[in-house]
Amino acid sequence: MAGTQPRKSTRRQTSFGPDHQKTVVVRWRRNVVWVIFGSVVLGLIALEVVFQVILVRLIVPWFENGPPFHVPSSEEDPDAERIEIETADGLLLRGSLHHHLDRPPRGVIVYCHEFTGSHWTAMAYCRGLYEAGFDILAFDFRNHGESDVQPGYVPLHWLSDHEMTDVHAAIAYAAGRPELVGLPIGLYGVSRGGAAAMVATAQNAAVEAVASDGGYGTNTLMQFHTPRWALLVVPAWVYNLIPWWHSLITLALVRWWSQKRQGVPLTPVERWLPRLGTREVLLISGRSDNYVTPEVTRELHGMIGDNCDQPWIVPRAKHNRARSVDPIEYDRRLVEFFGSMPGAEDQVPEITEIEEATPVIAD
């Protein structure tokens, strides 16, 4: 229409002044910094993952390779009764019962042998207990001695849940056998068997007392020997740069990977030790034990609590050789200890005849 004035645009004009441009530059720089920071973090994480994978693959073979144990052969005892014990998962454990026929037994001691040992080593350690009036029930762990072999399972010197299943089966057998019903039950274990005995006592109310000679917890022993393992795969100067928390992560990964390979969890011994605070516990260690050192035994004692007497550290004794070094005192302490179980009280005879032990040796 003629004479009509053009309308002015109502859209607001946008202007990019110096302040706006400065803001854009600051934001861009900030984003670049975050990208660089994130890349560095991801790179460090990737490097850590690669480093841990390499460490685990190098350490696991050492972790699973047992110490140089040597278990002397033990003769069969013709006076012992052969027994069979069925486990909860259907295996048969074979062993022996050293039963008193001439008098009522004071109690029954379930003996847990060492790694690669057998039930026939029981009397080398328990002779004093037997002569003091206790019945001795010994069994072979699965994949040991005369017991059934579980296909695909390779036992290690580390305690697993399979061994715990075996110990509980033996306890149930001792508690349910007619001539043993009502007797106080004690557990006595050597080396890995000592660890199994302690955990089973914490888990099973039927057990009155437990004695462990050279027993150990997986985590405690792993951490103690970490420097030795680490120096086998990395230089000393590298190991000294690794923080303690990094070593703990590596050990946890080593344990996890080994469990996956074995197909069975390793028993968390240390987790159960505080539950022994209400039980009678005797810990024995050799002062010259280079594998389960007295320091390791004292750490276990600290986890159990003040109700547990101080460990008996036997001078000059190596791993599981305390009875060989001081047999009279060894038997006296065991008899006195298990004799304090309710219902096991008796006149303790003087121990004069000693049968030499057949120990596990780990130098």
Mean pLDDT along residues 55-79? 76
- CATH (domain of 102): 3.40.50.1820
Beta-carbon-side half-sphere exposure of residue 256 (alpha carbons within 13 Å): 9
Percent of the chain at pLDDT exceeding 90:
59
Check pLDDT > 70 for residue 226: yes
> Using N-to-C axis directions, what is the helix angle for 18-64 and 218-233, rounded to 10°?
100
Which domain range does residue 280 map to? 81-222+266-339
H or E stretch covering 109: strand 107-112
Residues 6+ apart with CB under 8 A from 65: none
Residue 48 lies in a domain: no
Q: Are 225 and 295 in contact (CB under 8 A)?
A: no
Max CA distance (Å), the chain: 137
Indicate the pLDDT class of residue 356, thresholds 50, 70 and 90.
Answer: low
Check pLDDT > 70 for residue 363: no
Residue 17 has a pLDDT of 63
Residue 350 lies in a domain: no
Residue 206 has a pLDDT of 96
Beta-carbon-side half-sphere exposure of residue 251 (alpha carbons within 13 Å): 19
Check pLDDT > 80 for residue 49: no
> Considering Cα of 325, then 282, then 65, then 246, what sign does the dihedral take?
negative
Q: What is the pLDDT of residues 7-34, one digit of tens each?
A: 555 555 555 566 666 676 677 777 777 8
Q: What is the pLDDT of residues 173-213, one digit of tens each?
A: 999 999 999 999 999 999 999 999 999 999 999 999 999 99
Q: Are 351 and 65 in contact (CB under 8 A)?
A: no
Instruction: State the Cα–Cα distance between residues 334 and 326, nearest whole angstrom.
Output: 12
The whole-chain average pLDDT of the chain stands at: 86
Q: Are 191 and 214 in contact (CB under 8 A)?
A: yes
Q: What is the pLDDT of residues 104-127, one digit of tens each?
A: 999 999 999 999 999 999 999 999
Residue 171 lies in a domain: yes
Residue 26 lies in a domain: no
Indicate the pLDDT class of residue 348, thresholds 50, 70 and 90.
Answer: very low
Check pLDDT > 90 for residue 84: yes
In the chain, the number of structural domains is 1
Amino acid at 168: H
Which whole-number Å values give the CA distances from 78 to 81, 82, 98, 104, 261, in the listed order?
8, 9, 10, 21, 40
Check pLDDT > 70 for residue 360: no
Residue 7 has a pLDDT of 58
Residue 41 lies in a domain: no
Residue 69 has a pLDDT of 63
What residues pair up with 98 in beta bridges, in sequence order?
136
| Number of H-type helices and E-type strands within the chain | 11, 8
Percent of the chain at pLDDT exceeding 70:
85
Token readout for 175 is 């508690």
Residue 55 lies in a domain: no
Q: What is the pLDDT of residues 118-155, one digit of tens each?
A: 999 999 999 999 999 999 999 999 999 999 999 999 99
Check pLDDT > 70 for residue 282: yes
Indicate the pLDDT class of residue 280, thresholds 50, 70 and 90.
Answer: very high
Check pLDDT > 60 for residue 1: no
Residue 230 lies in a domain: no
Q: Are 270 and 287 in contact (CB under 8 A)?
A: no
Residue 45 has a pLDDT of 73
Q: What is the pLDDT of residues 256-267, one digit of tens each?
A: 999 998 899 999
Residue 356 lies in a domain: no
